[in-house]
Amino acid sequence: MVLQKDKENLKTLVVGGGSWGTALAILLARNQVPTLLWARDLAQVSAMILTRRNDRYLPQVPFPPSLEPIADLEGALSQTRQVLVTVPSCGFRPILERLAGRLSSHIPLIWATKGLEPGTGRLLHEVAVELLGSGWPMAVMSGPTFAHEVAVGLPTAVTVAATESEIATRFARCLHGDTFRVYTSDDLIGVQLGGAVKNVLAIAAGISDGLGFGANTRAALITRGLTELVRFALAWGGQKETLMGLSGLGDLVLTCTDDQSRNRRLGLALAQGKRLDEALTLIGQAVEGAAAAKVVVARAKQLAVEMPIAEQVYQVLYAGRHPRQAVELLCRREQKPEYAYMGYLLNEKR
């Protein structure tokens, strides 16, 4: 356990005033960690200071006393002992560019963003290394989480992977509590890929359910989607155990089966005949899987990794393929033994 005086010395800056950043800020503050919550919208920050809650995203959850909304990002850096970035993947580089040169080298950078960099397809730790340097202490948090459930204190478990075990352990203890359990890892690649690829697969699950294909189809998509995720992560250097854990299988099941998932809701909307732009407008928040589909499919081809479900999601999103045709094409693929998947898990030859 972290002593109370240790927590008081670990003031944390949460960057991103959306539902996820707010939920994590509430969790930290509830655990007696002094917490600063930064949002780019000055009007939103002013409202949060006045009402002591985030009326835009989590209006039903009041802020604990040790949570302080702020508008001055650069000024907050002088007060903080660790930084937690929660912005969507498209905003990750711009935020780090603001932090670079202002953040002291001993301050750990942690992120809870689930995605790859749009356009380049790079892992977010690669972006961080480019902008901050290879020796910077950094960590990523991921797992089966919906912001509302974390904010109201429902039991949740996640994984934190870090470049240094001390960083993972310290941050895990800040989050760990009566209803929030944290496991640690050294597999930054696997934890990041689990959080990014499951978003693409959740779109497929939403399409399937939106077309009325039922529980059998959903279970098949999740299982074969896990196959694709494992192949992809191993080819990139991730660890198979990670993909069987919270940030892999756990997050995949959650995102594919519950309508709190924006990615699943995108698939449902596409199955109902809505265009991509219409569906994204209807959802009204970042849907990471839409951008991730492009970069995942492109990187899979570079790595010579077969990802037929991700490929069909890409075709529906960007090539005009009808969702029903995409499912039919998946079913018509050449018959093959299932145990080829187990070979990956057992480190046998493909």
pLDDT tens digits along 240-278: 999 999 999 999 999 999 999 999 999 999 999 999 999
| Final residue before a domain boundary, out of 186, 218, 245 | 186
> Are 207 and 296 contained in the same domain?
yes
Residue 98: CATH number of its domain: 3.40.50.720
> Are 150 and 243 contained in the same domain?
no
pTM for the full predicted model: 0.93
Domain membership of residue 350 (yes or no) is no
Provide the pLDDT for residue 8. 57
> Are 339 and 235 contained in the same domain?
yes
Contacts of 331 (CB under 8 A, 6+ apart): none
Can you point out the beta strands (E) in the chain?
A: 12-15, 35-38, 53-54, 58-62, 67-70, 82-85, 109-111, 138-142, 156-162, 180-185
Two structure tokens written together for 188: 């930054």
Domain membership of residue 180 (yes or no) is yes
Residue 288 in marked binding region: yes
| Farthest CA pair distance, the chain | 61
Q: Is the pLDDT of residue 112 over 70?
A: yes
Sign of CA dihedral 310, 316, 317, 319: positive
Domain membership of residue 235 (yes or no) is yes
| Final residue before a domain boundary, out of 165, 186, 207 | 186
Residue 223 in marked binding region: no
Domain membership of residue 106 (yes or no) is yes
Q: Which residues are catalytic?
A: 198
> Are 158 and 207 contained in the same domain?
no
Q: Is the pLDDT of residue 339 over 80?
A: no
Residue 261 in marked binding region: yes
> Are 114 and 165 contained in the same domain?
yes
Q: Which amino acid is at 19?
A: S
> Are 142 and 246 contained in the same domain?
no
Residue 17 in marked binding region: yes
Residue 245: CATH number of its domain: 1.10.1040.10
State the helix-helix crossing angle for 124-132 and 188-210, rounded to 10 degrees.
Answer: 140
> Are 182 and 207 contained in the same domain?
no
Domain membership of residue 245 (yes or no) is yes
Residue 134 in marked binding region: no
> Are 113 and 203 contained in the same domain?
no
Question: Rounded to an integer, what distance in angstroms lies between the CA atom of residue 18 and that of residue 40?
Answer: 10
- Residue 350: which pLDDT band, with cuts at 50, 70 and 90? very low
Domain ranges, residue 335: 196-345
Residue 198 in marked binding region: yes
Q: Could you read off the pLDDT of 278-330 as tens digits, one per residue?
A: 999 999 999 999 999 999 999 999 999 999 999 999 999 999 999 999 998 99
Provide the pLDDT for residue 174. 96
> Are 224 and 308 contained in the same domain?
yes
C-alpha dist (Å) from residue 313 to 203, 309, 330, 338: 7, 6, 11, 22
Ordered DSSP codes for 104-136: -TTSPEEE---S--TTT---HHHHHHHHH-TT-
First to last CA, the chain: 44
CA-derived radius of gyration, the chain: 20
Provide the pLDDT for residue 349. 36
Chain mean pLDDT for the chain: 93
Contacts of 204 (CB under 8 A, 6+ apart): 221, 225, 267, 309, 310, 312, 313
Domain membership of residue 164 (yes or no) is yes
Residue 336 in marked binding region: no
Average of per-residue pLDDT across 133-161: 97
> Are 107 and 10 contained in the same domain?
yes
> Are 110 and 250 contained in the same domain?
no
> Are 12 and 75 contained in the same domain?
yes
DSSP run (H or E) holding 186: none
Residue 19 in marked binding region: yes
Number of domains in the chain: 2
Question: Rounded to an integer, what distance in angstroms lies between the CA atom of residue 265 and that of residue 260?
Answer: 8
Domain membership of residue 191 (yes or no) is no
Average of per-residue pLDDT across 60-87: 95
HSE value, Cβ hemisphere, 13 Å, CA-based, for 302: 10
| Final residue before a domain boundary, out of 134, 165, 186 | 186
CA angle, residues 303, 163, 130, in degrees to nearest 5: 65
